[in-house]
Structure 1
Amino acid sequence: MAKRKQEYTNESITALKGADRVRKRPAVIFGSDGLEGCEHSVFEILSNSIDEAREGHGDRIIITRFPDSSIEIEDFGRGIPVDFNQNENCYNWELVFCELYAGGKYQNSGDANYEFSLGLNGLGLCATQYASEYMDVEILRDGQQYNLRFEKGENVSFEKAPTRLKRTGTKIKWRPDLEVFTDIDIPNEYFEDVLKRQAVVNKGLVFVYRFQGENGWEEKEFVYADGITDYVRELAGENAMTTVQYWEAERMGKDRADKPEYRVKLSVAMVFSNRFKMTEYYHNSSFLEYGGSPERAVKQAFVSQIDSYLKQNSKYLKGEGKISYTDVEDCLILVSSSFSTQTSYENQTKKAITNKFIYEAMTEFLKHQLEVYFIENPDEANKIAEQVLINKRSRENAEKTRLNLKKKLSGTIDMANRVQKFVDCRSKDLSRRELYIVEGDSALGSVKMGRDAEFQAIMPVRGKILNCLKAEFNKIFKSEIITDLVKVLGCGVEVTTKANKDLSTFDLNNFKWNKVVICTDADVDGFQIRTLILTMLYRLTPTLIDEGYVYIAESPLYEINTKDRTYFAYTEKEKQAVLEELGKTKYVIQRSKGLGENEPEMMWLTTMNPETRRLIRVNAEDVEKTSAMFDLMLGDNLQGRKDYIAENGQEYLELADIS
């Protein structure tokens, strides 16, 4: 029965109310309804405690992660005002915990609370409460203790009683709701990362993180007495190129002529290093994952001033191009922490800011500071200039190499660009064409004569191919054997690493074959070469394996000849079966010859004839296991090899050639 379409009328328009505004659309507030959104809800509560401490109320925040995924955050600030509000004619807890866009951070006068604040919109505490299975709140202020409980966005209780405790503060414990978020199991790493970052940009503020570890409850403390300067010094270690610099300033300005003026505090700590690089940006102590205005300012100021220094001191070669920010960034450790009384975030998750005035003020500030720094520290300025030029020239050489490699790998197979000793087939029908990758020139002869030239092509591998499992791409593509194979395959290579992604040219539509058959001798050398070829395909063209285009041609281990016919045995078990079948018939048994020694008829019969050959289709799991074993047996892990042989060697004794 067909489903009846719902009519679209005036009554079809509805509005979400109360807790449903968050519970049914968490991604609007938190950026996601998954684990990332749940993590951001925690940061919203933490932000309020940090704002209190920054205003001078409390120097310690305690964060506890419970085994059931509930979280508790306790601060020692003034305590959230939750009593009756005469102006709004309701209790403040109703505004703070149950009303979006309500809070104490909307005023912007010179003596207002929270001049530089993480939480500006009055969304976080209420939204997190709405998104919780439950939330318990304990507040100490004005000689009173307030206790509130919320369940699934609704207030369950509100209690108020006098207390003799002199301290003030807020303790909030809640469990994110699995009806709202798809995952609430926030890992320890998230808490440790966030608390370390907040300790960096809130100097002297102590963050205590409590969690249940393997040996019971554990506690970690995060604090940087000198904030971003200590952090940069920690990152740089003992071998930085220059001394750590710390610069700070305040500015007043507007984003637009008709907008109100606001205040910005800028602070930057930086050092140059040829061993480590990192840049991080914070605003109102929120980590700006995507940077925005401060990042743009750093790029502009550092490139401009270093380029100016290089020109003034004739450091560029004749006709040499200008440096880029990449060249600077490769040797720069910099942490920027800015604060402003007005902030334009890209969204509620606060991962980038867009303030025009902050960009302009910070650019001008950094240019001036760098100019003074270079004048006052000529030796360090020279070191920086030389290192940036080294980075630039290395980058340009690498780009040139990559371009040459890309050109080399995209070469076509024709008379003008012939792959050495490659023998093509006549057919252009992709559903028939087979490529046999064979071991050495000797095998090439017998395979060439034993094949069907209509649809079978041959590519010989000369010598042992490079192990591509762990090799760098520039080393891989220096191998002529590998680049020749890539050309013959025709589909390009798959490169997922960011640094070499421009080499990725893979297109299955350009693949020239129906089957790629690896054909090597049935001995140790043959197995090793087969493994190396498989590893190359696994690293550079894994889709060919996933789509089932790669095969191994089995070579027989034994030839058993009688007066009337020849039998082939591919395993010891098959050999025994043939001998039992022959009974008392006279026979001659011998190990099968290498590919290069086989007669063409033998090659056709055992390895190339679709009716009689044995092909094994390769899958990714096979290659991973084979490569791992190959690496263990032939790699640098001597102890691992000894341990494996000690544990498993008895299984291979009958295969060993011991007389």
Structure 2
Amino acid sequence: MANTDNKDMFASYTEDSIRSLDWREHIRLRPGMYIGKLGDGSSMDDGIYILIKEVVDNCIDEHTMGYGKQVEIKVTEHNVTVRDYGRGIPLGKVVDVVSKINTGAKYDSKAFQKSVGLNGVGTKAVNALSSYFKVQSIREGRTRIAEFERGVLSKEHKEVATSEPNGTMVTFVPDDTVFKNYRYIPEYLETQIWNYCYLNAGLTILFNGTKYISKNGLLDLLKRQTTEEELRYPIIHLRGEDIEVAITHENAYGEEYYSFVNGQHTTQGGTHLAAFREAYVKTIRDFYKKDYDATDIRASICAAVSVRVQEPVFESQTKTKLGSMTVSEGGQSMKAFVLDFLSKHLDDYLHRNPSTADALKKRIEQSERERKELAGIKKLANERAKKANLHNRKLRDCRFHLNDELSGKDKDIQEMKRRETTLFITEGDSASGSITKSRNVENQAVFSLRGKPLNCYGLTKKIVYENEEFNLLQHALNIEEGLDDLRYNNIVIATDADVDGMHIRLLLLTFFLQFFPDLVKNGHVFILETPLFRVRNKQQTIYCYDESEKQAAVKKLGGKPEITRFKGLGEISPDEFGRFIGADMKKDPIILSKDVHIQKLLEYYMGKNTQTRQEFIIGNLRYEKDLIDEETPAEA
């Protein structure tokens, strides 16, 4: 039988089996290869933000070349418009530049030696993945417009005269058949825009009418990302040719980095960040003439590093990790370049600022003491965790992980799978059982809590090792030594929609903010949204996430449909649960606004019960209409 099947498969494999896709078909068939994961906008690296980035990158390259000091970005619910004041696309190539693969000006390394987009793919991907795409170029008093639908030219306007200043304007609407139920989160867009400003002195960006401009580059970035009261010494800001760094230390645990290449935010670091971390340790050791442990030197560091590299090589099309080993073709190695800069400029700075040097030394020695105090219990806890990991009933793991090495062909597909890796943290056997049975075993793992975790506010990191559950969670995430080897890109807290569930959420968020705040700051932590109601009749079932959706569903179905109120995750069957954690999963990101002081936030919500907090709770109580109807007599 097997032999017959093989013969049939051989016979069916003919010339007709071979297909050649045009550029548009390939992008739409494999969008992840070009823009990473699709997503719904709840993650800062979702595709809808990459679309904007690809268009703005071209504006930034024009600015870098000395053309155009302002970029205007307007984002409504689903419509995006980007206007720069650069030279404008040559009018005869307006259609080709956005619709012919490997077409662009950046292959001329003299014109764009240190730009971001080098392979002529970016705007073509935006065009192909948009239900509507319009490009307009204005050059020397003349303009031309071309319009597309899903990458297909729908209307090419004739070249006409104009009084508008030079530049390019792109308008697009992401295709909702590709990006389902998507939404733009303003905080993510604002962060994206600020990063452009920090890296491009003199550039003004108008975003929905608000002006963004940075005068001090990476110094402004660290000021925005840190809290002044928590800094151990003033931010060190150093600039050189093709490199800029900003460095300080806080009181938080872990290491926090912001790395950039040619204006591109490399969220996964790369050779430049590895070179910085190594060079920083060597420079500090040489300055103090003491062989401090590298972990003590970098503990609690918050730093930003930006380099400009000729013809950079990234590990994937989304350009989130640099692979280049040199700063220029046939030139100095990245490692030597960064070390030469820090060993001179950081060393000089510390000699000129003895108070900063003294504060930095105290921070390092404090980290050294804390590490030695933890050493004994850390060893015992890790031995316990190692044994538990052999038969870890708390963790149902998946096949792919964020820290897997990319190898062989199809690196873009591997990268896409890594970005989709998710760990659900849930409570109780029934809830974790439903998720485990319905999850995608390729990239979704489940960690099951036993009841409510400990409130760790005000405790030292010693508790992470003393508390078995925290220690196992730390090992499941692989974050003991920082985020470099984080195993899951998305950490999703999945609890019941009741008071106990909310309390568990707060306790877990306290754990992450207290000991691993960079997980939250880097957009890895989410809250899972699951439906509160199921409304159905014999023909249709509608799942509703709030009271208004329930009322709309009842009206739509008419008559007297069956209404089920889900009070816990365990009440949702595995078959039903699958649709809530799949492609249409709804998850709310945990976002820290720029003015949030983490320790004050935790003290307010998780510290001793204060009169102020009691008044806040009483003043913000919400009564759901359905609960009132269920629990209050009709005549009331």
TM range (shorter): 0.5 to 0.7
Paired residue type of 2:116 = L
Q: Secondary structure, in 3 states, of the residue corresponding to 1:102?
A: coil
Q: Is the 8 A contact 2:281 2:298 kept in 1?
A: no
Give the direction of change, closer, same or farther, for the CA distance of 1:99–1:301 in structure 2 (3 Å limit): same
Q: Is the 8 A contact 1:278 1:329 kept in 2?
A: no
Give the direction of change, closer, same or farther, for the CA distance of 1:405–1:29 in structure 2 (3 Å limit): closer
What is the alpha-carbon distance in structure 2 between the residues aligned to residue 282 and residue 27 of structure 1?
Answer: 22
TM alignment of 1:176-575, pairs within 5 A: 176-210=174-208, 219-235=209-225, 238-239=228-229, 240-250=231-241, 265-274=242-251, 278-312=256-290, 322-324=292-294, 326-357=295-326, 358-405=334-381, 469-471=454-456, 495-496=472-473
The aligned counterpart of 2:96 is 95
Q: CA RMSD in A?
A: 4.2
Q: Is the 8 A contact 2:115 2:311 kept in 1?
A: no
The aligned counterpart of 1:38 is 48
Cα distance per residue 1:341-361 (max 9 Å; x no partner): 221111111111122122331
The aligned counterpart of 2:29 is 24
The aligned counterpart of 1:82 is 91
Cα distance per residue 1:349-389 (max 9 Å; x no partner): 11111221223311222122233233333332232122112
The aligned counterpart of 2:105 is 104
Q: Is the 8 A contact 1:204 1:227 kept in 2?
A: no
Q: Is the 8 A contact 1:345 1:353 kept in 2?
A: yes
Cα distance per residue 1:418-476 (max 9 Å; x no partner): xxxxxxxxxxxxxxxxxxxxxxxxxxxxxxxxxxxxxxxxxxxxxxxx99552359689
TM-score w.r.t. length of structure 1: 0.57
What is the alpha-carbon distance in structure 2 between the residues aligned to residue 341 and residue 32 of structure 1?
Answer: 28
Q: Is the 8 A contact 2:233 2:249 kept in 1?
A: yes
Larger Rg: 1
Q: Is the 8 A contact 2:238 2:345 kept in 1?
A: yes
Q: Is the 8 A contact 2:72 2:207 kept in 1?
A: yes
What is the alpha-carbon distance in structure 2 between the residues aligned to residue 369 and residue 76 of structure 1?
Answer: 36
Q: Is the 8 A contact 2:34 2:125 kept in 1?
A: yes
* CA-CA distance at 1:164 after TM superposition: 4.2
Q: Is the 8 A contact 2:385 2:472 kept in 1?
A: no
What is the alpha-carbon distance in structure 2 between the residues aligned to residue 189 and residue 642 of structure 1?
Answer: 29
Paired residue type of 1:292 = G
What is the alpha-carbon distance in structure 2 between the residues aligned to residue 350 and residue 409 of structure 1?
Answer: 36
Which sections of structure 2, spanning at least 5 residues, go unmatched?
Answer: 41-45, 327-333, 389-450, 481-499, 509-566, 572-604, 628-636
Which sections of structure 1, spanning at least 5 residues, go unmatched?
Answer: 84-91, 211-218, 251-264, 317-321, 413-465, 487-491, 504-530, 540-617, 623-630, 649-659
* CA-CA distance at 1:275 after TM superposition: 6.5
Give the direction of change, closer, same or farther, for the CA distance of 1:71–1:376 in structure 2 (3 Å limit): same
Paired residue type of 1:140 = I
Q: Secondary structure, in 3 states, of the residue corresponding to 1:221?
A: strand
Give the direction of change, closer, same or farther, for the CA distance of 1:23–1:380 in structure 2 (3 Å limit): same
What is the alpha-carbon distance in structure 2 between the residues aligned to residue 17 and residue 620 of structure 1?
Answer: 45
* CA-CA distance at 1:123 after TM superposition: 0.7
* CA-CA distance at 1:17 after TM superposition: 1.4
What is the alpha-carbon distance in structure 2 between the residues aligned to residue 159 and residue 281 of structure 1?
Answer: 42
Give the direction of change, closer, same or farther, for the CA distance of 1:497–1:640 in structure 2 (3 Å limit): farther
Paired residue type of 2:33 = V
TM alignment of 1:51-66, pairs within 5 A: 51-66=61-76
Paired residue type of 2:356 = E
Q: Is the 8 A contact 1:62 1:74 kept in 2?
A: yes
* CA-CA distance at 1:247 after TM superposition: 2.6
* CA-CA distance at 1:189 after TM superposition: 2.5
What is the alpha-carbon distance in structure 2 between the residues aligned to residue 303 and residue 476 of structure 1?
Answer: 23
* CA-CA distance at 1:242 after TM superposition: 3.4
Give the direction of change, closer, same or farther, for the CA distance of 1:120–1:207 in structure 2 (3 Å limit): same
What is the alpha-carbon distance in structure 1 between the residues aligned to residue 222 and residue 460 of structure 2?
Answer: 35
Q: Secondary structure, in 3 states, of the residue corresponding to 1:248?
A: strand
Give the direction of change, closer, same or farther, for the CA distance of 1:499–1:196 in structure 2 (3 Å limit): farther
Give the direction of change, closer, same or farther, for the CA distance of 1:287–1:493 in structure 2 (3 Å limit): closer
Cα distance per residue 1:398-421 (max 9 Å; x no partner): 343333456689999xxxxxxxxx
* CA-CA distance at 1:294 after TM superposition: 1.7
Is residue 155 of structure 1 aligned with residue 138 of structure 2?
A: no
Give the direction of change, closer, same or farther, for the CA distance of 1:495–1:16 in structure 2 (3 Å limit): same
Indicate the percent of aligned positions where both proteins have the same amino acid: 21
Q: Say which structure, 1 or 2, has more relative contact order (CA 8 Å, 6+ apart).
A: 2
Q: Secondary structure, in 3 states, of the residue corresponding to 2:26?
A: helix
Which range is displaced more, 347-356 or 238-247? 238-247
TM-score w.r.t. length of structure 2: 0.59
The counterpart of 1:70, out of the listed 64, 68, 79, is 79
What is the alpha-carbon distance in structure 2 between the residues aligned to residue 500 and residue 406 of structure 1?
Answer: 14
The aligned counterpart of 2:596 is none
Give the direction of change, closer, same or farther, for the CA distance of 1:164–1:93 in structure 2 (3 Å limit): closer
* CA-CA distance at 1:478 after TM superposition: 7.8
* CA-CA distance at 1:273 after TM superposition: 4.2
* CA-CA distance at 1:188 after TM superposition: 1.9
Cα distance per residue 1:181-206 (max 9 Å; x no partner): 34543322221111011111111211
Q: Work out the number of aligned pairs and report it.
A: 425
Give the direction of change, closer, same or farther, for the CA distance of 1:98–1:311 in structure 2 (3 Å limit): same
* CA-CA distance at 1:76 after TM superposition: 1.2
* CA-CA distance at 1:300 after TM superposition: 0.9
What is the alpha-carbon distance in structure 2 between the residues aligned to residue 190 and residue 7 of structure 1?
Answer: 49
